[in-house]
Amino acid sequence: ADALTYARNVFVPLTTACRYTCTYCTYFDAPGEASLLSPEEVREMLRTGADAGCTEALFTFGDDPDERYTRVHEQLADWGHDSIHSYLREVCEIALEEGLLPHSNPGDQTREQMELVADVNASMGVMLETTADVDAHAGPRRKSPGQRLATIRNAGELDVPFTTGLLVGIGEDWRDRAESLLAIRELHDRYDHVQEVIVQNVVPNERSRFERPSVETMRRVVAMARVALPDEVSVQVPPNLSPTRDLLDCGVDDLGGVSPVTDDYINPDYAWPALRELEDIAESAGVPLRERLPVYERFVNEGRVSDPIRAALDADDEAGERYRSAMDYP
C-alpha cells in the first residue's frame, strides 16, 4: 500500500439487545438486561467525540431486537419511536448536529429499514462474516448468511457506501473464505458500493470457545482478499485485534476506526491503540499514516453522498473544516 488510513471515531453502542445468540459474541445482553442509551446520553458521547477531534459517529446495535425485549420496545415507544431504526435516525441527526458523520452498523436490514436511515449516514456496514453455515451462528435464533448478503445488496440498490468483512476462525474452511470474498466482489461488481472489506480474526472471550487463528492463516486470508477484490476496495484489519504488523505486506491499506474517547464495546477486552501506535505501525511499513472520513473520498468526489452529508462536508463551520482536513476535498 502507498499509505495506511484510519478514521477517528466515537463508538456509540445504541442498545445491547439482539435477536441472535452467536456463540463468539460478548456484545449482546439477554432480555431484561439489555441497555438502551437515551438521546441525552448519546448527545453527551457525541459531543465528547467531536471535542476530541473525531469525525465519525459509529452506531452499533444487535440485529433488530425481537419481541422478547419488552423493556427496550416500551422505552422506544415512550420516546416516540415504533422501531429501533426510527430511533437510529434520530441519533444520526443528533450526530450531524454535534459535528460528526454517522456510520451505522445495525446488522441485518431490510430495504425499508435501510431506506429510513440512509440519507443521514455517510456510510453503513454489516459484517458478512462467512457464507458458510457454521455452528457459531447456531442457537435458538440462527444467523443466516443469506440475510447478510441481502443487506449488502440492499445497500447497493440504494447506493449507500458500504463496509463489510470476514470473521476468520468461526468454523469456516478455506473454500468458505474464498466463496465469501467472491460473494462480496460479485455484489460490488454489480453496484460499485463496497468501500472496504475487513479481515478480522475471532478473539477469545468469556463466551467464545474459538481459538485465535494463526498469523499464517491471517496472512493468507488478507492476501486472498487483496487478490480477490478490486483495487478501489480497501482491505482493513483492526489493529486492536489482529497481528497488524505481520499483515501489512499482504495487502492491508486501512486500519479502520479508532476511538480516542470510547472503548471497543464489541471487543471490550481489546483496547484501541493510541494514535502514536498507529504511526509506529505505518512507520514500520515505510508508508505515511493518513486520517480519512467514514465515507471514502471517491464516493464524495463522485457525488454519491446524500444532501445532508454533502451539506455537512460543505459547512462553513468547525465541523466542516474538520471533515475537509481529513480529505483532499475541493
pLDDT score, position 60:
92
Topology given in CATH for the domain delimited by 4-325: TIM Barrel (3.20.20)
pLDDT score, position 159:
99
Q: Find, among 160, 208, 220, 153, the residue nearest to 183 by Cα.
A: 153
Terminal CA-CA length for the chain: 24
C-alpha distances (whole Å) from 118 to each of 160, 196, 290, 313, 326 are: 7, 18, 26, 16, 22
Q: Is the dihedral of CA 298, 299, 300, 301 positive or negative?
A: positive
C-alpha distances (whole Å) from 281 to each of 181, 273, 277 are: 26, 10, 6
Q: What is the DSSP string of 246-293?
A: GTGGGT--EEEEE-SSS--SSSTTSPPPPHHHHHHHHHHHTS-EEEE-
pLDDT score, position 329:
45
Amino acid letter, residue 18: C
List beta partners, residue 103.
58, 123
Burial (0-12, 13-18, 19+ Cβ within 10 Å), 27 = middle
pLDDT score, position 208:
66
Burial (0-12, 13-18, 19+ Cβ within 10 Å), 295 = buried
**CA gap 4, 140 in Å, rounded:** 41
The alpha carbon of 186 is separated from its chain's Cα centroid by a whole number of angstroms, namely 20
70-126: pLDDT as tens digits: 999 999 999 999 999 999 999 999 999 999 999 999 999 999 999 999 999 999 999
* Residue 284 contacts residue 249 (beta carbons within 8 Å): no
Which residues of the chain fall below pLDDT 70? 26-27, 136-142, 205-208, 263-273, 329-330
For the chain, the domains span: 4-325
pLDDT score, position 64:
80
The alpha carbon of 26 is separated from its chain's Cα centroid by a whole number of angstroms, namely 16
* Residue 255 contacts residue 4 (beta carbons within 8 Å): yes
Three-state DSSP class for 232?
coil
pLDDT score, position 330:
42
Q: Where are the alpha helices (DSSP H) in the chain?
A: 39-51, 70-78, 84-98, 111-117, 145-157, 174-191, 215-228, 275-285, 297-301, 307-314, 318-325
List beta partners, residue 290.
5
